[in-house]
Amino acid sequence: MNSILGYAQLLQYGKKTTEEYKNISNAILDSCKYLLSLIDDLLDISKIENSSFELFPDIIDFKAFINSILSIIQVLAHKKNIHFKTEIDKDLPHEIIADDKRLHQVLINLLGNAVKFTEQGEIYFCVKKVQYNDDQLDKKTISVGFEIKDTGPGIKQDRLKEIFIPYKQVANKIKNLEGFGLGLSISQRIIQLMGSKICVESTPGKGSRFLFQIEVPFANEILTKPKEVKGKSVFNTENPPIVMIVDDVLTNRFILREFLNILGCNILLAENGHECLQKVKKTKPDIILMDIQMPGIDGFQTMKLIRKINEIKHTPIIAVSASTISMTKQSIIEKGFNDYVSKPVVMEELATILKKFLNYDAQHIGNKNIVISQIKQKNYQVNNQEVSMLPILDKQKAMSYLKNDQLLLKEILEMTLKEIPLYLDALKKYISNKHNDKIKFQIHKFKTCFKLIGAARCQAFLDIISQKNKTSENDPEDLHLFEIECNKLIKQAKIMIQEIENR
């Protein structure tokens, strides 16, 4: 946080060259990523302590998964002039079933520690097949062993038991030691949930060795999902896929359309489930991005109706929604969706979805850099006094999400100016008539607008209304204060639009 505040002040005061601005921006971005990693660790350890930590297994391209780990660690090791030695078994399966996010988290933590604590020598990483298993109900699995070894300072024997305890850091006077000491504790819990445990051997002055072994199913033996589209490998820049966007909120459709344009896709738009069903029969899109919460026919109902149409029933349908509180990704997939992405969607996720289901590689189309940090949005549950501390309109957050595209921000702000009065009138009407379900849908529309432009203060008041709506305790004063904040937001948005036009 000190780094972020310091660099922000450097941007605020004094003239800088373009290169200096770029360097400072990169430093701020790196600091933000590190801060987010600490927050993620705190959230993970909180889930572990509350016994709510879960795994979400899915199909993993195992070779690509291992290569992604290698590419990250090779860069880190090269920066410290440390030799990175690898031994990857050629007899590993192409696809397995596991939680790729959590397995990635464990390996990056263990290898990252090895790099961090090793000043000279080498890091060794081994992935090997231990054995095949096919005697359990005819389900074939494979046991895979992982080993990470370094030539760092090592750990004293009497301290080894402490390394997996949360908030414990047992390194021997290592300079620049960072973090909360949660990484190993979280990693051990993840591997325990996978049915194994991390073992460690260490000799002071010589280094440490971490090992674990997990048993995972082969992808083709488990997980029956709707088939992916025919002709999976025919999509390219000359023959891009047709993507249908189904969402009742104009701003959402606009953002997804702009992102997919950059990715080189052909795009179809539908405002609701009925329109989707009408268009999908005629156009037969290659993949559908479906909002879950829509008035009338919701995303689940629309998806099930599409599955009944023979010629398109195997089309990949991806759930897209901010409603992640009551349902997990796994439960959404089990209901019939092929995958799930949360709002606000980032372009990297869209590129990954297109690659996964259509084998359409959009990573470098138009020479765009698609790698965007996925900053998790937080639900504000605050009282009215705390709201005054939040920003009315956070341009920096909006620009980060929109990849610093000022014109795109201007268009979204202009749409928001048109939508807010309409949404506000509808919300007041529904609250007056005590239509709780319609209130819920209207709040959902508002939330997406606010997240896109970083309207944290309006978002906070909206969360207050949302919480009280769940128990039918809507307070007219909350609505009045929310309307005041919306008017402030409109004024701020107009000022920002004018600033962009004057540049």
Nearest Cα residue to 479 out of 417, 426, 416:
426
**CATH number of the domain encompassing residue 259:** 3.40.50.2300
Task: Return d(Cα 308, Cα 40) in angstroms, integer.
Answer: 40
Q: Are residues 74 and 160 in the same domain?
A: yes
Under DSSP, is residue 332 helix (H, G, I), strand (E, B) or coil? helix
**What confidence score (pLDDT) does residue 86 get?**
94
- C-alpha dihedral sign at 377, 474, 251, 503: negative
Please check whether residue 341 lies inside any domain of the structure.
yes
- pLDDT, tens digit, for every residue of 394-415? 887 777 767 677 888 888 888 8
My answer on whether 159 and 33 are in the same domain is no
Is 230 domain-assigned? Answer: no
Domain range spanning residue 2? Answer: 1-53
In a domain, 236, yes or no: no
Predicted confidence at residue 223, as pLDDT, reads 39
Token output for 180: 């909360």
How many angstroms separate the CA atoms of 295 and 437, rounded?
Answer: 9
Q: How far is CA 9 from the centre of its chain?
A: 29
Domain final residue pick, 344, 367, 390 = 367
Residue 235 falls inside a structural domain: no
The three-state (H, E, C) secondary structure of 114-158, written as one string: HHHHCCCCEEEEEEEEEEEEEEECCEEEEEEEEEEEECCCCCCHH
pLDDT score for 177: 45
Across 261-330, the runs of DSSP E, i.e. the strands, are 266-270, 287-291, 317-321
Q: How many CB atoms lie within 10 A of CB 294?
A: 25
pLDDT at 133: 65
Question: Is there a single domain that holds both residue 275 and residue 400?
Answer: no
Tell which residue, 265, 256, 269, has the closest CA to residue 452: 256
Q: Which of 367, 402, 431 is the last residue of a domain?
A: 367
Give the number of domains in the chain. 4
Tokens 């099930």 identify what position?
304
Question: What CA–CA distances, in Å, run from 402 to 93, 371, 372?
Answer: 38, 12, 10
Give every residue of the chain whose pLDDT is below 70, as ranges: 1-53, 133-139, 166-181, 219-237, 322-327, 362-389, 401, 403, 471, 473-474
Q: What is the pLDDT of residues 413-456, one digit of tens each?
A: 888 888 888 888 888 888 888 887 788 878 877 877 787 788 88
| Residue 162, number of CB atoms within 10 A of its CB | 14
Q: Which CATH number goes with the domain that contains 97?
A: 3.30.565.10
Chain CA centroid to CA 491, Å: 32
Pair 102, 17 in one domain: no
Using CA atoms, how far apart are residues 493 and 266, in angstroms rounded to an integer? Answer: 31
Whether 153 and 302 share a structural domain? no
Asked whether residue 7 falls in the same domain as residue 109, the answer is no
Asked if omega into 295 is within 30° of 0 (cis), the reply is: no
Q: Residue 503, class by beta-carbon neighbours within 10 Å (0-12 exposed, 13-18 middle, 19+ buried)? A: exposed
| Token pair for 250 | 């104009």
Burial group, residue 2, by CB count within 10 angstroms (0-12, 13-18, 19+): exposed
Looking at the structure, do residues 397 and 482 belong to the same domain, yes or no? yes
Q: Is 392 left (phi over 0), alpha (psi -120 to 50) or beta?
A: alpha
For 158, residues 6+ apart whose C-beta sits below 8 A from its C-beta are: none
DSSP annotation of 392 reads: S
pLDDT of residue 185: 84
Q: How far apart are CA 165 and CA 48, in angstroms?
A: 12
Residue 263 and residue 120 in one domain: no
The last residue of one of the domains, among 367, 394, 413, is 367
Nearest partner of 89 among 122, 125, 57, 128, judged by Cα: 128
**Residues 497, 501: Cα–Cα separation, whole Å:** 6
The reply to whether 72 falls in a domain is yes
pLDDT at 305: 94
166 and 106 assigned to the same domain = yes
How far does Cα 236 stand from its chain's mean position? 26
Specify whether the CB–CB gap between 265 and 309 falls below 8 A: no
pLDDT of residue 110: 93
Whether 150 and 269 share a structural domain: no
CATH number of the domain where residue 459 is located: 1.20.120
Query: CA 207 to CA 229: how far, in whole Å?
Result: 50
340 and 284 co-located in one domain: yes
pTM for the full predicted model: 0.44
Report if residue 261 sits inside a domain.
yes
Does some domain include residue 109?
yes
Query: Where do runs of H (alpha helix) occur along 227-298?
Result: 250-262, 273-283
> Who's near 105: CB < 8 A, 6+ residues apart?
186, 187, 190
Asked if residue 265 and residue 173 are part of one domain, the reply reads: no
Smallest Cα–Cα separation from 116: which of 57, 49, 194, 34?
Answer: 34
- Phi/psi region, residue 366 (left: phi>0; alpha: psi -120 to 50; beta: rest), is left
CA distance 5 to 8: 5
* Domain-embedded: residue 6: yes
Contact 356, 348 (CB under 8 A): no
